[in-house]
Amino acid sequence: CLNLPLHLRYLEENMYLAGIGPGPKSPTGVQYNHLLGPVVDDFLESWDRGILVRKTCRHPQGLQVHCALIPVIVDMIGAKEILALAGVTSTHFCSYCDLPCSDINNLRTHEWEHRDVRSWRAAAERWRDAPTRSQRDAEYEESGIRWSELLRLPYFDPPQFLDTETMHLFNLRCIPTHCRAI
C-alpha cells in the first residue's frame, strides 16, 4: 500500500502476497497466466464491487474500498514474462516502443514509435483468439505480444504501468558496462 506512511507500508498486515510460483524453474510464456489468473480475479472483484473493510479509525461503521493493480515493477526479463512479450533478443525487443531489433542502434528517440494500450490489447486479443497454434505463432511473430491475464483488468495499461526495476536496469547492467567498457 503505497498510500501508507513508510513505517507502516511494509508490515505484513499491509501487504498482499499474490502467490509464490512453483520451482525449481520459472514458468515460461503463457504458463504465467495460470499463476496470474486467481490474482486478477481478486483484483477484478475489488475493482468492480469493492471490499468491505469492517472498521477503521475514521470509519467505525466500515468502509467500501476499491483496489487496482498498478504499477508492475519487475526486471526486464520479468516484464517480458509477466506481460507476455517477446524476449530481449527478438525482433520486438523493447517493452515500450516498436523499434525493431534491426534498428537497435537508432538513438533518435523522436523516431521511436511508442506502444499504446489500444494496439497492445488488439494484438494480445488477436493472439488469444487465434484458432490454431500456427496462427498464434504468426500473430506473435508480427507483434511480439501474447495474451496476459493482466489484460482482463479494464484499467490495465501495460505501456504506462510497466516500471523496469532500477536495480537491475542501472546497477547490474548500465553502470558496470559504462564503468568498464566506455
Per-residue pLDDT of the chain (182 residues; tens, 9 = 90+): 667 888 888 888 887 766 666 678 878 777 889 889 999 999 999 999 999 988 888 999 999 999 888 887 777 788 888 889 988 888 988 888 888 889 989 888 888 888 999 999 999 999 999 999 999 999 999 999 999 999 999 999 998 888 766 655 555 556 566 566 65
Q: Residues 43, 69: contact at Cβ < 8 Å? A: yes
Helix (H) or strand (E) holding 122: helix 117-129
Place of cell 493493480: 69
- For residue 177, give the amino acid letter: T
Strand intervals (E) in the chain: 51-53, 63-65, 72-74, 162-164
Global pTM exceeds 0.85: no
Q: Residues 140, 125: contact at Cβ < 8 Å? A: no
Give the Cα separation of 133 and 143 in Å (integer). Answer: 15
Q: Which residues does 151 contact at the CB level (< 8 Å), separation at least 6?
A: 121, 124, 158
Q: Which residues does 175 contact at the CB level (< 8 Å), separation at least 6?
A: none
- For residue 82, give the amino acid letter: I
